[in-house]
Structure 1
């Protein structure tokens, strides 16, 4: 009787173990399954800029590319590199700098509201160069760089190489020189680096700034990118540019659908094309379909 009882218990335990085994396998499968959102984009966005690149930083890949390897003038996009070089040098931002006749544009003869003799801090000049693309501000920053403008431009080229921007070359700090050239792919690398500078984020996304230089009337400067004033955009870095040879340009590090994206638009024809293209990109990304396949790890 005792032996029969032991055999019965043993058989019962074996039956329970067999029934439990499939459940254990299913649980393991569930733990080892990842659900990852995958965005499927519709047909390519209809952009009017001659050169365009949409780069998804999260996936580390281009979502759209148009003439992205073309080496072209980049106008005032140059000022982002000039700003990084100035900030890398850790020069005192509160130091007063007087605008000189040397800072005037003798290449394109562009107009500037900044008057010769105005004295502003290096920080204010950096703000105006990035936010409002003020050429005299950028020229003054390069002139007062250790070693002068020549040294500043040399440092800009050296940093470009360090960032892997092999098809980029700078000849001045303002972007007025059409010899300042790059590719959309290279500019993605520059935007990736620029986003890590807190002041570049702050100044490129500032909507406006009042300048009060002793002895001169107050001046209000606005951001050259109207999208920074649009609450539907989450912009981390922004820069516009324009000279005849480059057309109208716009680069941004932004977030769309909570994804970090770099947008490069070069040689846009027409005053509003670059901004309209940026809006088209945002709408295109927001129209993406989401699917969630299971992926075993």
Structure 2
């Protein structure tokens, strides 16, 4: 099968371990927009392609891929790699209809003919994508009943080689494609596309070593000395990474010479300009530019072999490093080099890209002596945001890669003080690349026994409270799901339309924050006031809020962090704004619950971090409906994202931003709109989600509540299926 040639070392390929079970089942790794951006990044034919999906609906390719991933709880990255491995559909700009019709190779064996009438039921792009995801899920679900499915704990002879799969995902890939080479192609593509985390242009340093590396073309290039580093980059951009992360990158050529050095090789002289050498036409050209003989470095042929040759420097060359001009008539900056001018749309570009080139004053007449080039982009590795937008990007190969969340930003070790802010035009001048995520943790299943391996990948939460077997109760139509509890209600009337175990008492985790928000607003919380963080009073048990003692934040912004990001510490700070005695506040929450007639609800904390904070889906329907009747609570729970700066910053990291913790709220849905929602999670509670949705066809509103979802890795898959079912059922 065709595949993209990439640089992953064949010697690194382990046929026993191709991909982890966690990774292949991470259905939330990319949303529709991420998939579309990926296709656009590779200029894929699929970017604008539409086809019938498995349900015979006409959809875009990115939507088909996304829906198949969510439906079957399989990573969309897996489907993208399959499309490339089988038919080169990611990089092929003009595929044949046959390639599209048999996009993932599903149903086609080595000796099969695509024209076989019996195989036509598998034909079609949408069917192929759906089937590729469905078969992997089917393998997981039917492993114990189908002995022919390859599994861990057993050895197989594949292409004459002994293979003992270390993960079920690896075993299933061999079940699907029983060849070493085909699965090595899969691994190679995965490594190239999805295994590198730090983008090109990153400076990284191991946590236990002094060596500093530049990530370039996916490999790590060590700096031999500090002069080689500081003549190219500002050391403040160095990222400290785990030593294990360094091992993921192939070692590249050493960077040993200071940038802008004058090198002498035999009778030839060169100016080192990053990765290129600009030859001097003669030694006179070297002298005419004011270089002293002591500044010249002797270099042998090996030293200069890896550099490309640039434009020749003559005695008439006045500024081999280029010039930065400010034109009097429009007060704008331009970079001049080799007879061309390049507009600098934001002055920060000049400071980042050319920190050592002084700005000269010039006129439009002087600028007219040069021919125009493309507007300049920020150098690789630069962190930037666009004024008025809450997203943060890192530049790689001239493209802007969205850093998916604050957790990703902090997890990769980026420094908030290194972010620069540019105008919208400058931001748009950088094409959009792939979003940046953290590397998934690798968990190898137990290979000592088939049963152990199966248990390792089941979407089970052993600590989660479950309704005892045989005691499950349904209301109305039954929706088949592993989620312990669900409730669907008509928003206007409050009528419960369908449900499962809606009267079972269980921990409700961060769903508690909705009740806390209601009570605070009832007691007069002033969102325009502010609060100073005092760890002794405000630090929660599960504290992940980036804040230090003495920093001050507006209450409205704390509300954002508490409800949208579901952080605990901001909620405790807000409660302290209306009641210094948190226990007294909790007592009033319980009194309010009793006044509403809720007999199965008790609050033991304001955040839901204690197991004694319990309710039922039936009771929570009342809580959620009452709370969202408050305009502020309703509006904040409905925000897709937020950003704000601390009122008083101490640690040099004033900006906070995040997307809604409910991934479904960030996506566009064909048949409904999510008006507001709240997530929650504890091991004992499982994943919880409450949503108010509106059907597009008739504007009918539903409240949908799920509690006790055991599949934390794919926590939005079942709520998404339940919502789709609701739209068609009621």
TM-score, length of structure 2 as denominator length? 0.32
Who is 1:148 aligned against?
581
Structure with a larger share of its residues in helix:
1
The Cα shift of 1:202 comes to 1.4
Distance, in Å, in 2 between the alignment partners of 1:180 and 1:162 is 18
**Corresponding residue for 2:539?**
104
Greater Cα shift, 269-278 or 184-193 = 269-278
Aligned-partner SS, 1:144? helix
Match of residue 242 from structure 1: 681
2:483 is paired with a residue whose SS is coil
Q: 1:202 to 1:259 in 2, by over 3 A?
A: same
1:49-198 superposed matches below 5 A: 49-58=483-492, 60-101=494-535, 102-106=537-541, 109-198=542-631
Distance in 2 of aligned mates of 1:47 and 1:273: 13
- Which stretch shifts more, 225-234 or 117-126? 225-234
Q: How does 1:141-290 map to 2 (within 5 A)?
A: 141-213=574-646, 214-215=648-649, 216-217=652-653, 218-232=655-669, 233-256=672-695, 257=697, 258-288=699-729
Deviation at residue 234 of structure 1 after TM alignment:
2.1
| In 2, Cα distance between equivalents of 1:135 and 1:115 | 15
What residue is the counterpart of 2:478 in the other structure?
A: 44
Q: Structure 1 pair 60/87, CA: closer, same or farther in 2 (3 Å)?
A: closer
Q: Distance in 2 between matches of 1:197 and 1:98?
A: 26
| Pairwise CA distance, 1:57 | 2.9
Query: Which ranges in structure 1 are unaligned for 5 or more consecutive residues?
Result: 1-41, 290-297
Please give the root-mean-square deviation of Cα atoms over the aligned residues, in Å. Answer: 2.0
Paired residue secondary structure (2:519): helix
Q: CA deviation at 1:146?
A: 2.9
Pick closer, same or farther for the CA change 1:183–1:85 going to 2, 3 Å. Answer: same
Structure 2 residue matching 1:179: 3-state secondary structure: coil
SS at match of 2:716: helix
Query: Structure 1 128/111 Cα, relative in aligned 2: closer, same or farther at 3 Å?
Result: closer
Partners of 1:49 and 1:113 in 2: how far apart?
32
Checking the alignment, whether the CA contact within 8 Å between 1:114 and 1:136 is kept in structure 2 is no
**Are 1:239 and 1:250, in contact at CA under 8 Å, matched by a contact in 2?**
yes
Contact 1:56 / 1:62 at 8 angstroms: preserved in 2?
Answer: yes
Q: How many residue pairs align between the two structures?
A: 246
User: What is the CA–CA distance in structure 1 between the aligned matches of 2:588 and 2:554, rounded to whole Å?
Assistant: 22
Structure with larger RCO (C-alpha < 8 A, sep 6+): 1
Q: What is the CA-CA distance between 1:110 and the residue it aligns to?
A: 4.0
Contact 1:246 1:267 in 2 (8 A): yes
The superposition leaves residues 92-151 of structure 1 with CA deviations (integer Å, 9 ceiling, x where unpaired) of: 211110111121124xx4433233322111111112111111111011112222343122
* Alpha-carbon distance in 2 for matches of 1:176, 1:183: 16
The alpha carbon displacement at 1:193 in A equals 0.6
Q: Deviations over 1:136-180 (max 9, x none)?
A: 101111222234312221121111112222210111111111111
- Give the structure 2 partner of residue 8 of structure 1: none
Judged with a 3 Å threshold, the aligned counterparts in structure 2 of structure 1 residues 103 and 253 are, in CA distance, closer, same or farther, namely same
Compute the displacement of 1:273 (Å): 4.6
Distance 1:254 1:75, change over 3 A: same
Identify the range of structure 1 (229-238 vs 204-213) with the bigger mean alpha-carbon deviation. Answer: 229-238
- Asked whether the 8 Å contact 1:74–1:175 carries over to 2, the reply is yes
Distance 2:595 2:674 in 1: 25
Instruction: Measure the CA separation in 2 of the matches of 1:123 and 1:277.
Output: 32
Separation in 1 of the partners of 2:713 and 2:674? 18
Q: In structure 2, the residue corresponding to 1:251 is in which secondary structure?
A: strand
Q: C-alpha displacement at 1:59, in angstroms?
A: 5.2
Q: CA deviation at 1:75?
A: 0.4
Q: After the TM superposition, which of the residue ranges 124-133 and 268-277 deviates more from structure 2? A: 268-277
